[in-house]
Amino acid sequence: MKQGNADTRPPLPWFARHVVLLGKMRMAMAQNRVRGAGRWLQSLAAVMAYLPGIALGTLAYWFMTHPAVTGEMAVSQFYLNLLCFVTAMLWVLWPILSAGVEDGSEKDRYQALPISETRLLAAAVISGLFRPVGCFMFGPLIGASAGYAVSHAPGSLLWTVILLLAFIAMCATWSQLGIYWLRDLLRTRNNGESLTLALLLLVLTGLVLPPVDVGWLYEQGGGLGAQGALQLEQFANVALAFSKVPPGYLGEALLALAEGRPSRTLLELSGMLILAMLGLVGARNRLIGSHQREAATEAIQEHRWNIFAGNGSVNNLLVRREAFELWRNPRVRLLLTVPLVLIIVLHLVSANELIFHFFGSISQLWLMGGVGLYGAALLLLTFTHNTFAYDGRGLLLLTGAPVTPLQIMASKARVHGMLSLVFGILVSLFYWRFVVPELSVVWWLLCAASILVLVPLVVSIGLFVSVIFPVKFDASLNRRERQPFLVSLLGFGGCLIGATPFILTSQWVALGGNVFLSLLLLSGCALLAWLLHYWSLPVIAAEFSRRQALILSAITRV
C-alpha cells in the first residue's frame, strides 16, 4: 500500500523531468537568498524581462507581413535571411560577448544527481532557451518566420515550427560548444598569451581584409519604394549569398516550402539537424574530457608578485593587492579583448557606413562613444558588481588585518574605477583611429568625458549591490553562483543613468548645438558623479562593516 503522504501525481517523462529540474535550479540560483517582497519584485522583474523579446517578435511579424515587404519574394527572402544570419551569429558568439560560464559546464554541481553528461548537456541547452536572453535572441526570428509563412506559405504552420526548432537547436548546440571551448581556453596556463595572440591575428585580419561593400545603399536612393527601390536582383543576390551558409538554411527551407519543393525543404532541415548533432557531440566531448582540469587554478597559484616590495602607505599596498587579485583572474583578460573584437567585426561588416546612411554623421559619435561605454561597463558589471567573489578567501584574511572597511572598499573602488576608465577611453580611442580617423578630436573628447561620467556611478552601485547580495565565484571557472536578477537590473539601470548625459549632449550636437559647450556640460556631470562617488564610499563601508559576517559566509562557503 502507498503511504498517505506519497506524491500520487504522475511523474514527467524522465528527460523532461531533468529539464524542469534544471530550470528550477536556475531560478533558485537566480533568487540567491532573496526573501519576502524582494522575491516578488524579482519575479515581476523576470516577467518584465521577457517583454522586449515579445515586443521585438511582434514588430518582426508586422514587418514581414507589411505589403512593402511581401510584394516581392526576393525582398522578403533578403530580410529573413539577414535576420537568420544575425541571430545565429549573436547566439553562437554570446559566450564570448557575455564572458559567461553556463550551468551545463559546472559538472561538479551535478555530480550527486542521477544524470549523465549527455542528458545534463541537452537539459542545460533546452532550459537555457527559456531564459530572457533566449527570448530576446529568438523572439524576432520567430515573429519574422511566422510572418513569412503567413504571407508566402499559408497552411504550413507545422513545417514552419519544425524548421524553427531545428534552426534553434543548431544555434544552441554550437553556442554551448563555444562556451566549453572558451572555458577551456581560460583554464589553460597561458590563457593571457593565447587571447593576446588571437586578438593580434584578428587585428591583422581586419587591416588586410576590405570591409563589406555597401555601395548599393546609395544606388537609386537606397529605399523601398517606386522611385527609390533597390533592384530586385540585388536583393536576390544578397539573399542567395546568405543562403549558402548554415544560418541561411532556415530561410532557404521556408522559400522551398513556399514554392512547393518539399524535397529541398527536407534537405535544408536535414542539414540543420546534422549540424545540431555535430555541435552536441562536440560539446559533449568537451564536457566529458575537460571538466576535471584545474589548469587555471594551478596557474594562479604559480603567479608571484611581491606586493609588499618598496615603500608606501597601507592604502597603496591595498591597491597593489587588489590589482594583483583582479589581474590574475582569467576573465579579465577575456573581457579586455571583447570590445576590441567587436570593433573589428563592426569595421568588417561596414556597420559605420550602414548607420551613417540611415542616421547621418552623428551616428559616428554614437558608435565611438557606445563602444567606449560598453568596454568600461563590461568590466564593471562583471567584477565591481561581484567585487568580493573573485578574491575568495583573501577577503577573510584581509578583514583580520589592521585595516578599516573604508580602506578595503576604497582600494577596490580605485582599482576597478581606474581600470575600467582607462580601458573605456582606450577602446573609444582605438575605434576612432582604426575606423573613423577623419572625425574631430573634440568628438573623441566627448566620448572620453562620457566615460568619466559613467564609471563613478556604476562603481558606487556595484560596490553597494556586492555588499547587499554577496556571491561566490570560482576562479577556476568550474562553477558559479548567479546574482539575483534584481542586481542585473540595478547594474543596467546604473549604466543607463551614467550614459544619459552623453545621449542628451550628442543629440543636442546632432540638432546643431555647440560641441565645446556639450563637452563643458559633460565635464560638469563627471565632476558631480565623482563627488557623489566619494560621498557614497563611507556609507558603503559602514554597510559592509555591518554585514561583514554574512558576506564572508556567502563567499567562502564550499
pLDDT string in tens for the chain (558-residue length):
444 444 455 555 566 666 676 666 666 655 555 555 555 665 666 666 677 778 888 888 888 888 877 777 877 887 888 888 878 877 777 666 555 545 545 555 555 566 667 777 777 777 667 776 677 778 888 888 888 888 887 778 888 889 988 998 888 888 888 777 777 776 666 666 666 677 667 667 666 666 655 555 555 444 444 334 445 666 666 667 767 778 888 888 888 888 888 888 899 899 999 998 998 888 888 777 654 444 444 444 444 445 545 556 777 878 888 888 777 776 777 778 778 877 877 777 666 776 776 677 778 888 899 899 998 988 888 788 777 766 656 677 777 677 888 888 888 889 999 999 999 999 999 889 888 888 889 999 999 999 999 999 999 998 898 888 776 655 455 555 556 666 777 888 888 899 999 999 988 988 888 889 999 999 999 999 999 999 999 999 998 888 887 777 777 655
Give me the residues paired with residue 473 across strands.
Answer: 480
Helix axes 330-348, 405-434, angle to 10 degrees: 20
505 and 432 Cβ atoms separated by less than 8 Å: no
Helix axes 330-348, 73-98, angle to 10 degrees: 160
Tell me the DSSP string of 329-340: SHHHHHHHHHHH
Separation CA 219–CA 200 (nearest Å): 36
Query: Coil, strand or helix: which one is 94?
Result: helix
How many Cα atoms are found within 13 Å in the side-chain-facing hemisphere of 446? 31
Buried/exposed 390-422: b ≥16 CB within 10 Å, e otherwise = bbbebbeebbeeeeebbbbbbbbbbbbbebbbe
For residue 158, count CB atoms less than 10 angstroms from its CB and return exposed for 0-12, middle for 13-18, buried for 19 or more: exposed
Dihedral sign computed on CA atoms, order 339, 344, 347, 348: negative
Query: Coil, strand or helix: which one is 469?
Result: coil
Distances (CA, A) of 212 to 161, 341, 346, 347: 33, 17, 10, 9
pLDDT at residue 228, rounded to an integer: 40
Three cell numbers, residue 429: 580611442
498 and 454 Cβ atoms separated by less than 8 Å: yes
Cβ neighbours, 10 Å, residue 170: 27
Selection from 415, 403, 384 nearest residue 548 by Cα: 403
Cα radius of gyration rounded to whole Å, the chain: 25
Query: Coil, strand or helix: which one is 312?
Result: coil
Give me the residues paired with residue 537 across strands.
Answer: none
Separation CA 119–CA 280 (nearest Å): 11
Helix axes 191-208, 157-187, angle to 10 degrees: 120
Cα angle vertex 321, ends 320, 324, to 5°? Answer: 85
End-to-end CA separation in angstroms for the chain? 41
Separation CA 465–CA 398 (nearest Å): 20
Dihedral sign computed on CA atoms, order 181, 187, 193, 199: positive
Separation CA 1–CA 331 (nearest Å): 55
For residue 227, count CB atoms less than 10 angstroms from its CB and return exposed for 0-12, middle for 13-18, buried for 19 or more: exposed
520 and 422 Cβ atoms separated by less than 8 Å: no
Separation CA 161–CA 57 (nearest Å): 15
For residue 133, count CB atoms less than 10 angstroms from its CB and return exposed for 0-12, middle for 13-18, buried for 19 or more: middle
Give me the residues paired with residue 229 across strands.
Answer: 223
Give 426's contacts (C-beta < 8 A, 6+ positions apart). Answer: 375
Cβ neighbours, 10 Å, residue 69: 20
Helix count and strand count (H, E) for the chain: 23, 0
Query: Coil, strand or helix: which one is 229?
Result: strand
Residue type present at position 478:
N
Long-range CB pairs of 153-159 (<8 Å, 24+ gap) are 153/254, 153/257, 153/258, 156/257, 156/258, 159/257, 159/265
503 and 454 Cβ atoms separated by less than 8 Å: no
Separation CA 513–CA 446 (nearest Å): 13
